[in-house]
Amino acid sequence: MRIARETWIVFVRAMRLSLRNPVWIFIGLTQPILYLGLFGPLLEPMSQIPGIPPGESWQWFVPGILIQLGIFGAAFVGFGLVAEYRAGVVERMRVTPASRIALLGGRVLRDVVVLLVQSAILIVVAMLFFDLDAPLSGLVIGLGLVGLLGVSLAALSYAVALTLKSEDALAPLLNGLALPVLLLSGILLPMSVAPSWLQTVSDFNPFRYVVDGARAVFRGDLDSSTALWGLVVTLALVLVGITVGTRTFRRESA
């Protein structure tokens, strides 16, 4: 398997660079942990409000924050590629006979591994210091969803980065997309409390289904249609990400 070998070489190189500066892995965790510590407590007394899921707020808030970590963690990886492009690394690899898919895949794999490590830490923190209580099967499937989401968004982020080749163009684009996606996913408050027009708008946001799915599996509703839809939409996002990513990496002068 030539592609697998090349993907591994690119992955190990990228992973080594990440591990050499592990501070970033923890910096990526500060935002979600701040949300848990400084925003999560506001939700505790809200369980009486119509639309808010019954029971402890942590059960639905933590999976949402986990998906948020997945979205933000993966969507911004393109910045690293712009830096590599500027250093001439991307072109240098493109004049080797290595598969273009491996050049993308190795990097995406690194991002997913980093994301899963961060997610696992986040879950442990949520269980130890906040009142998260979820079945192991739900946690594993939830992590799987985050990983798949990471594949999709990291590949898309790299595709956009390779097309724009500039931090200055990338930053406003990603920020401009990330905030509405975040707000329309019901991560901070479930969309079930939203007025109907807002719910309708959020129906068009694929990430909402991923968030709902993650919440369902954390509740233990593994065979619910919500969980299934979450998985289906996530897989669709993976398909889109890989397609766009590989097409961009294969394109000439990309």
Partner 1 sequence: MPAMIETSGLRRTFRTRGGEVEAVRGVDMQVAAGEIVGFLGPNGAGKTTTLRMLTTLLRPTAGTATVAGSDVAADPAGVRRKVGYVAQGGVTYPEARAGEELVDHARLYGISRSEARRRARTLFEQLDLPGLFDRPCKSLSGGQRRRLDIAMGLVHGPGLIFLDEPTSGLDPQSRANLWQHIRGLRDDLGTTVFLTTHYLEEADALCDRIMIIDHGEIVARGTPDELKRGVSGDVITLALADASDSGAAAATAARVAGTEPTVDGVTVHLQVADGAATLPSLLRHLGVEGIRATSVEVRRPSLDDVFLDLTGRSLRDEPAAQTGAEYAHSA
Burial of 57 (0-12, 13-18, 19+ CB in 10 A): buried
Q: How far is CA 238 from the centre of its chain?
A: 11
| Shortest distance (Å) from residue 82 CB to partner 1 | 12
Residues 17-36 that bind partner 1 (CB under 8 A): 17, 20-21
Of the ranges 86-94, 107-115, 195-203, 224-232, which one interacts with partner 1 (CB under 8 A)?
A: 86-94
70, 75, 84, 214: which one contacts partner 1 (CB under 8 A)?
84
| Shortest distance (Å) from residue 169 CB to partner 1 | 12
Q: Identify which of residues 16 and 247 has a Cβ nearer to partner 1 in the complex.
A: 16
Check if the beta carbon of residue 149 is closer than 8 Å to that of residue 237. yes
Spell out, one character per residue from 138 to 177, where the chain touches partner 1: x when CB under 8 A holds, - when not.
Answer: ---------------------------x------------
Tokens of 134: 């979820």
* The dihedral sign for the CA sequence 6, 8, 9, 14: positive
Q: Identify which of residues 100 and 215 has a Cβ nearer to partner 1 in the complex.
A: 100
Q: Identify which of residues 96 and 200 has a Cβ nearer to partner 1 in the complex.
A: 96
Question: What is the C-alpha to C-alpha distance for residues 155 and 145, in angstroms, rounded to an integer?
Answer: 16
The conformation of residue 39, written as its DSSP 8-state character, comes to: I
Tokens of 154: 């990291």
Q: Where are the alpha helices (DSSP H) in the chain?
A: 2-20, 23-34, 40-43, 57-75, 78-86, 89-94, 100-129, 136-164, 167-183, 196-203, 206-219, 225-250
Question: What is the C-alpha to C-alpha distance for residues 58 and 67, in angstroms, rounded to an integer?
Answer: 14
9, 121, 198, 244: which one contacts partner 1 (CB under 8 A)?
9
Of the ranges 33-41, 79-87, 145-153, 198-206, which one interacts with partner 1 (CB under 8 A)?
A: 79-87
Is residue 121 a contact point for partner 1 (CB under 8 A)? no
| Shortest distance (Å) from residue 9 CB to partner 1 | 5
Q: Which residues bind partner 1 (CB under 8 A)?
A: 2, 6, 9-10, 12-13, 16-17, 20-21, 83-84, 86-89, 91-98, 165, 252-253
